[in-house]
Structure 1
Amino acid sequence: MTTTRVINSFLLFALTSITTLAQQISFKSEADRNQVSLGEAFSVGFFIESNTDSYSIDRPMKYPDHKGLQVVGEQRSQNISYVNGKGVIEDGIILSFVAEKEGKYQIGAAKIVINGKTYASKPINVTVKEAGMAHSNFRRSGVNQQPVFLESKVSKTNPYVNEQVGLSVKLYAKDLSYLNRKQNFRQGNLDGLSPKIVKSSPENIKQEIVAGKQYFSEEIARYYVFPQKPGKIEIDPFSVDVILPSTYGIEPVEVRSNSVTITAKALPEEGKPKNFNGAVGQFKLNTSVDKKELSTNESVNYDVEVVGSGNFNSINLPEVKTPKEIEKFSPKKRDAFKTYDEGMKGKVAEQTVLVPNSEGSYTISPVEFSYFDPVKEQYVTLKSDSVNLKVNQSEDSENSKSTEIAKTSGNSSSFSDMIENVNDNKQWLLFTGSLVSIVALGFFFFRKKKKSGEINNDVEEEIIKPINESLDHSTNDKFKPQKQKFVIVEKSEISDDLIIQDLEELEQKINTDDPKEFYKLQEKILSNVAMKKTNTDLAHFSEDLITNKLTNTAIDTEIISQWKLLFSNAQKAKYAFGGLNQDLEDVYQETVLIVEELMSK
């Protein structure tokens, strides 16, 4: 990363404008923590704060000195908040650093020229210490004598409730071949935490120096966990079997990681907004309407979305409040967030349909959303702008009387037409009545004969055959009986190629007009991969049976739970009116992940 890239990043969000006397501008730096373990990344943000975006950057930010620290990431940050009723615009860049050895480091002052004035941030001091037992077991006694060991590590040991915390499980081996001999990974107890699994990169094998010795490392699991209660939460050791040489040849050896303790902090009561519902992270609020001028009885879509990173599971979007003259329908919610390598990111959106009943000018009040920012350690309230709607009288309303008269006069002619149609169809009605009579008499005769014991198959055939022939020769196809076909399904071989082909077809159905076609194929894929994994045929297939068999194969309970959820949703979606309001791209990615997990074990 070069200084030029940082300069270009600032130029992208800098706006040239007129400077006013009311401007309040400051430039500051903030670190997410001041004490970290060796090898742990930490972030420092450099922010311009102002009560307006009407300022110009005359000279871009000068990169701060960071001797002994390596920049490993950069991201832009933009936020609008309201503090004591006043809007504050915050724009900046967040840099991620990592130290190569223990010690005390300083990130120097960054400088920037705004409206002809030079601003400088305060230096940031950070202490890098050797990883402790609660955070890592890299340096535990005897590590350098072990050919292989497992390590659990969290990104933060004292987070707030609902704050996302990275949890990494790494396998270290002196011999690279040992990494390919692992099996039966077992997850530690995550009670008190809401976990989200992250699919690790397939190329994550690295070389690392541990206690002065060279090891090959592979991240075999990564989670983002969200503490659900304040206090100490213990993460039990994870374990995995590794095939190692022994006196008797080779045998699986259980390798266990260290336990990790998280001490979660309760969210502060001071300054907590009334509309706060538990959202923790960094977010932005966006609102929009698809039109601002419309006619009565015409609909307008009001969209509200919260975008950012953090715990999306605890987000409830604010309610849209409208004047009594505007009818409001239940909002349609859409979740579009994922768990990435850097954490949970995306958005939660709702669309509310509004229909004005009378003409006039109306104002939709602003909506507010509050969250807790764990970096700033304070509550932030975001507020949208109000929306003005101009509603004109609809032409349909003005002509309603003439329309009703036309409908009334039209009814007379329709009644005449109906009488005429009845006369034209007399012959068909007589035929239908005769046919019903024949069927009734035939079944009466059939039951009478059967009761007296005189009926046989030949008689039954003579009775049913003419009825079927009459129905088959009917001029109206909708009265033709449909023959029910019963197919005995034999157990078939389900190949990996077949499942892969179905996944490719599933990807093509993401943008289909009818989502039910997508879910039908998804249900088939999930059934096939589960039957193949458990050696179960279709005749004996049931969700409970498959779940029990998967559990007995030592597959992670999280994987089994995700399979059950996807399978259940696929079944519901086939019959759900209006679908499940899911992002099919997300559903496809989750299906691929589960299929890969089941096929690889």
Structure 2
Amino acid sequence: MRDIIAKISLTALLVLAIFSASAAEKVTFEATSPLTVAVGTPFRVEFALNAMPDDGTFKAPAFEGFDVIAGPAEARGQSIQIVNNAMTRVINYTITYVLLPQAEGNVTVGPAEIAVDGTTYRTKPLPIEIVDEGKAPAANAPQGDPQRREEVSGDNSAQSRVAKDDILLRAIVSRTSVYKGEPLRVTFKLYERVPVVGYDEVKFPSFNGFWAQELNTDNARRQRETYNGKVYETLVAKEYLLYPQQAGTLTIEPAELTAVAQVIIQSRRNADPFFGGGHDFVNVPRKVQSPQLNITVKPLPAGAPASFSGAVGTFTMDAALPPERLAANSAATYTVKISGTGNLTFVQAPKLTLPGSFEQYNVKTTESINTSAAGISGYRQFEYPFIARAEGTYDIEPVEFSYFDPARMQYMTLRSKPLALDITPDTKGGGDAYVVPGRGMSKEEVKLLGQDIRFIKLGNAQLRPVREPFLFSTVYWILLFGILLLFAMIYAALRKQIRESQNAALVRGKRANKVAVQRFRAAKRYMEEQNRHAFYEEMLRALWGYMSDKFNIPVANLTKENVREELHKRGVSAEASQRFTAIITKCDEAQYSPAASAQMSEVYGEGVDIISRIEAVIKR
């Protein structure tokens, strides 16, 4: 009976965990199709959902400009995986259509609709370019040796598959005319109509005359756009916020890179006796460059207020004033908080004017700044600590902060409330504090009368030598305390060593770098033997194994996203995290791609370098 109850409970918990895992996953509904298709050539359009839909809620688009020759074909599937008590459930629901283009031109497949638990989801429209391949000019036949003629023909065929405008690099700016200090956004975007397997010789401009802030593009996804009448897959390569530091015409130099496109050509050497010919994968490099852009930077208008220090944007100011009544020789703080959007990084502390009898200390600055495509926003807070040394009544002038608002094209001045301070006598009875004219006094310089003068003993002094025994003397207690402290330190060190040896996760973390070095040595040996598959396999084991040992995460649960998250928690820069994931991607592509675009020596050097940099940051 107990066994039956235990089995029922376990089954209920398993079902509850499955539904919990399914409910926690975000629902996505996406459509996929080729970028370009030929007239009269059928192709597939797939609508993929990662959840089970409500029955009868799927609505297909009209498919104008196409003939539907098959579909809809539904496919359902799910899988459950449990690793270290962590359950993962994956659901796949796909609806497929086979379409036949009617005529050349640009046609858009409209959005499809489906409902999951009463919520409606829609796909994005899919632009598709329909071309007439019969209008393409025939290639000139090469002359000479038959084998050489076949190789040249294959190269020419591969080159002809990648047109001049099949890969583009554009620089897109949010505006071309700004004021000095006003931000603008520049986006370097890749436009591709052919499969690209890698990028080489990547070079971005140095932005002379600008202060540049790179934006995070790690989560940028490929999208489909129509440009110059053609359909492209686009990807944001880099994005920056630029703050011009001088007036005039500033130039954004071109960015450039070499994209490696991969095309499939017919091969006579690999001919199949049953199906005719084989196919070869050929890498075709294409060097692309963005155009040079000129930005007009207008100078700030004349007549800036005296409290203007270069702030450009939209800001507000809050001031937390000290109490209006203070005792002499007591400390207080005047706080000013400037919030808003603009060049917050360059905002300086406003000037606070205090009476000469006040002792003012260095300004403490705290900030919270967020960088996004819309600009830099957040706040900077300035704390002015001071000590009122002399009693009396003082009028403190308001704090002023001025900034230039580009939207209004004028200077704006913010002011705090005026403050009247009433400094009462020191309640501790310390007497009046003496203030040195012309400068503030430090706390060490302020001495209260009666404590800095000692009375001189009068009369004949009766002095005699005193020899203390060693036992219970000062030296005795110092030595005893030192010995006890030494034993306590040794005991603590031994206990720590025992705990660390028993902590398998800590031992793995400490040995992570050593194990990675051993695997890098094995990878180098495979590289020298030109064993390409074994080399990339060993490199992946070294990189993933290092992260698994260092963060105590099983290799099966490691993903690029949680690796970047763990590295960010330990202070590793986003650039180093991006480099690590790029090396992983390069190894994966080189291991499974028929024609690798990466050199083993380059991959080996980058892998060793990034692990060394990460280890140096984590050990810090």
Q: What TM-score do the two structures reach when normalised by structure 1?
A: 0.47
Q: What TM-score do the two structures reach when normalised by structure 2?
A: 0.46
Largest Rg, 1 or 2:
2
